[in-house]
Amino acid sequence: MSSSSEPARRPKKTPPAPKQALFTKIFHWLNIISLTLMITSGLQIYNANPVFGGRAGWHFPVAVTLGGWLAGGRHWHFAAMWLFSMNLLIYGIYIFITRRWKRRYASSSDIQVLQTGKNPKRKNYAWHRVVYTGIMPVLVLAVASGLAMYKPVQFSWLSALFINWQILRTVHFITVPTVVLFTFAHSLLALKVGQFRLVKSIFT
């Protein structure tokens, strides 16, 4: 039987939900919309002439494609590309002006934490920044290879960097699953750092 003099246990208070800037929410929503449009329309373009195996190679189900045919897929893909690219550029300018890049990207201290750190939460933050930093060159590669295929004559110097057309198509195609994997890793690490409250705060 417990003593009446023992202090009553106070219920743990739920931490307040994180607050995100409206600009950050808009950026994430536009990213999801543009990436969905680019991936589904890109699969429509892929089906017209698969990167691997030629015309007899693997084709994606019609249910996950957008555009209905090659030209339709291209129209959707290039329209979404501009939305994605401009959104990325504006957000890049935003985090540069607001100096958010100091908290968003990996530093030597993050590498040190991953090597010798003992605090699991601090390690999750470090992994988050490493993954966030690592996706940047992939996004640049996706946009560059996309532009090289979009305007191969006007951007002939850019196309030449990829040696030939097949390498260019393969590189561009590989950036897609890489970005998808980043999205899952980014979301998983956000859940570990701030639970569902953090992920929800990005979109609501």
pLDDT number for residue 36? 94
pLDDT number for residue 194? 65
pLDDT number for residue 145? 93
Where the chain has pLDDT below 50, the residues are none
DSSP 52: T
Locate 68 and state its tokens. Answer: 């209905």
Neighbours of 84 (CB within 10 A): 21
What is the reported pTM? 0.78
pLDDT number for residue 8? 55
CB 127 within 8 A of CB 189: yes
pLDDT number for residue 108? 84
Taking each continuous run of H as one helix and of E as one strand, the counts in the chain are 7, 0
pLDDT number for residue 14? 59
Distance CA 147, CA 143 (A): 6
Q: Which amino acid would we find at residue 145?
A: S
